[in-house]
Chains A and B, each alone.
Chain A
Amino acid sequence: MMDRNTQAKFRFIFCLLFFLPSALSAVTAIEQSKRLQLVYTHLLDLRSNSAPHSENAGTLQISAELQPLPAIDARIGAKTEPLAVLPVSGRLRLRGFLLDGWMLGFSGVPGLTVGKQKATALQVETAWRKNWGGLQTGLRFSQSFWKVEGPMTTAKYKDRLENRQQNADLSIGMDWETWQPYVGIGRGILNSNLWIEESQITLKIENHGYAYQFVGVGILGEAWSFNFEQHQTENFLLHFQFSATRRF
């Protein structure tokens, strides 16, 4: 087993390989504002978080997902936005397998209030997965709607963030019995409106295309499976997710 220092060095190098810092050395507040909106929006997105392993028709999966959030520098101009975000976010997801490797997935947040912010979300996905001997492939489409209301740019006013995101991704994995390593690439389109009550303006991101890559490993048990998935989104966001899934 590696000691703690070796682990830290290994992790640092691994992160460097993924993380391509922005070429910009100086910015405007508008660019900072758009980037911050993009970061929060991508963190709310519905990603695969699962090896492309095909299940028998009729199988249901319930997953609990955890996502540690990166440290976020919320400075815009000379102001730090007073965003209060938990260090970890979670989500429950239901997936059902149909005939011929088709899968339908669903996740929702029914007006949940966390801190001072109220979130409502509906996220759906469909995928086609096929096992080719020891090789697994998956093609997935997802659609996310998010509405978050609460103080974001000042503590006094109630702002509103509304996102619509569509993703398509392709993943390829290996079936090594218990272990299911996989990689994938995806493309998405984002529309996001941030209504700022104090300034009475809407910061819009319209039809923003983005790319993401991911690498993950699943651990497949009889009734339970576990998954770790690392994402890189555009050239400015790295985040990872864990999930524990119970099959029925």
Chain B
Amino acid sequence: MSKRTFIELQSWNFTDTDVCFYPCKSMINSLVKGIYLLIVAGLLFGCSQADTLGGKAPDEIAISGTPTWENGIGELVRFKCASCHVIPFSFYSPHNTPTTLNLSVYDNSSNIRGANALGIWVNAGILEKPLPGISRKMPLEYATPLTVGEIDNLKSWAASGNPNN
């Protein structure tokens, strides 16, 4: 940078008609004014919010009376378990989901177990901890959580032999 240019920069002697590679005074002024106005506009009007549903409570299937497959448990299991445990698999089923379990129906069909087999695992404690041969407790961490009331109903249903109706 020449001495003259340095002095000009120091004393803001550029004019609007100067052709220069260095920032002219008007350019600097425009930038500063523009940035200032944008910050004021942002402070006054800027809204940045996202409702991701992350903090929302999970849906709860409430059951009145004795829980049976026909009375609430079917709706609960289809809604919160069969989004993955369904045959054919849903788009949400992880790759290691059992291929012989369909929790959208109560009865077995050929080689596919139905939800009438679910009571064994519930009684064994799969809602609280991983079981031998099943490395993760259910529901999975990123699945829709069961509420306390739903867990109680599932345990009650399983303890009474997972009745259909």
Q: Does A217 contact B (CB under 8 A)?
A: yes
**B136 CB to closest chain A CB, in angstroms?**
12
Q: A residues 210-224 with Cβ under 8 Å of B?
A: 217, 219, 221-224
Q: Does B140 contact A (CB under 8 A)?
A: yes
Q: Could you tell me if B59 and A75 are in contact, using CB atoms closer than 8 angstroms?
A: no
CB contacts (< 8 Å) of A238 on chain B: these are: 47-50
Q: A residues 59-99 with Cβ under 8 Å of B?
A: 68-81
Q: Does B41 contact A (CB under 8 A)?
A: yes
Chain B, residue nearest A29 (CB): B144
Q: Does B27 contact A (CB under 8 A)?
A: yes
- For B51-91 the 0/1 string (1 means CB < 8 A from A) is 11111111110000000000000000001100100000001
Q: Could you tell me if A21 and B51 are in contact, using CB atoms closer than 8 angstroms?
A: yes
Q: Could you tell me if B34 and A244 are in contact, using CB atoms closer than 8 angstroms?
A: yes
Complex-state Cα separation, A36 to B54, whole angstroms: 8
Chain A, residue nearest B83 (CB): A30
- The interface on chain B, measured as residues whose beta carbon lies within 8 A of the other chain's beta carbons, has a size of 45
Number of A-B contacts (CB under 8 A): 173
Stretch at the interface among A12-20, A101-109, A115-123, A158-166: A12-20
CB contacts (< 8 Å) of A128 on chain B: these are: none
Most buried by B among A2, A7, A25, A32: A32
CB contacts (< 8 Å) of B79 on chain A: these are: 28
**A245 CB to closest chain B CB, in angstroms?**
10
CB contacts (< 8 Å) of A219 on chain B: these are: 33-34, 37-38
> With A224-B30, A240-B42 as given contacts, are A29 and B50 in contact (CB-CB < 8 Å)?
no
CB contacts (< 8 Å) of B16 on chain A: these are: 222
Q: Could you tell me if B30 and A223 are in contact, using CB atoms closer than 8 angstroms?
A: yes
Cross-interface CB contact of A70 among B43, B48, B91, B142, cutoff 8 Å: B48
Cross-interface CB contact of A77 among B47, B91, B139, cutoff 8 Å: B139
Q: Could you tell me if A240 and B48 are in contact, using CB atoms closer than 8 angstroms?
A: yes
Q: Could you tell me if B31 and A11 are in contact, using CB atoms closer than 8 angstroms?
A: no
Complex-state Cα separation, A72 to B48, whole angstroms: 10
Q: Does B145 contact A (CB under 8 A)?
A: yes
Beyond the given A21-B51, A238-B48, please list 19 additional residue pairs across the A-B interface where CB-CB is below 8 A: A11-B44, A29-B58, A31-B53, A32-B52, A35-B53, A36-B52, A68-B46, A69-B48, A75-B52, A77-B58, A77-B141, A78-B141, A201-B93, A204-B91, A217-B41, A219-B34, A219-B37, A228-B41, A230-B47
